[in-house]
Structure 1
Amino acid sequence: MFELSRNAVFALLLPRMLQAQEMRAKAEQCERVAAGASDRLTAYTFRELATQWREMADQVEKLEHAPIYQTIRDRRTD
C-alpha cells in the first residue's frame, strides 16, 4: 500500500501561498498598467485589482500571525 508522509500530505493540501511582498509587487504592476492605460475603464479596472492585491497582502500578514497558521507551518517543516 502506498503511504504519504505527513509532510507530503500538508504539501498537497496547503500549496505555497504567495507572500505579502509578492502580492504588493503585483499591486504595483497593476498600478503601472493603470497609469499607462488608454481608456478610463481599463485604468479603473487595474486600480481596483491593485487595491485587491493590497487587501490580500494585508490579510496574509494577519494570517501569518495567527496561531493556527503557525501550527500548520510548523507541521510542514517537520
Structure 2
Amino acid sequence: MAGQEYFNRQAATLLKYAKAVADPEVAAGLVEKAADLKEQAERPRDLATTPVTRRPTPPADSRFGLVGNGAVSDRSRSHSGGRG
C-alpha cells in the first residue's frame, strides 16, 4: 500500500493541474480527487485489510478425484465404476 508521502505528493500535483486548467468542471474533479487522496494519506493503515500473499493451492485433479492434499474426494468414490 502506498504511504502518506505518496498520497500527499499526488494530491499536490492534482491541485497544480486544477489551477492550470481552464475548464471549471475538470478543475473541480481534480480538486475532489486531491481531497480523496489527502483523506487516504491521513487514514491509518489497517493491517486487517492489508492483502496477504498466500501460497496457491494446487487444483483438484478431477480425472482421478484427487484434492490438493492428495486425498481422494467423495465425488470420485461415487463414480468408481459400480454402476447399477
Which TM-score band applies after superposition, normalised by the shorter structure? 0.5 to 0.7
Question: Which structure has more RCO (C-alpha within 8 Å, separation ≥ 6)?
Answer: 1
Percent identity for Structure 1 against Structure 2: 19
> Distance in 2 between the 1:52 and 1:37 partners?
19
Task: Give the alignment of 1:1-78 within 5 angstroms.
Answer: 17-59=1-43, 62-63=44-45, 69=47
How big is the alpha-carbon RMSD for the aligned residues of Structure 1 and Structure 2? Answer: 1.8
Kindly state the Cα deviation for residue 22 of structure 1 after the two structures are TM-superposed: 0.4
> Distance in 2 between the 1:37 and 1:43 partners?
6
Which runs of 5 or more structure 1 residues have no equivalent in the other structure? 1-16, 73-78
- Structure 1 runs (4+) greater than 3 angstroms displaced: none
Kindly state the Cα deviation for residue 43 of structure 1 after the two structures are TM-superposed: 0.5
1:25 is paired with a residue of what secondary structure? helix
Which runs of 5 or more structure 2 residues have no equivalent in the other structure? 51-84
TM-score of the aligned structures, taking structure 1 as reference length: 0.57
Kindly state the Cα deviation for residue 38 of structure 1 after the two structures are TM-superposed: 1.0
Q: Which has the larger radius of gyration?
A: 2
TM-score of the aligned structures, taking structure 2 as reference length: 0.53
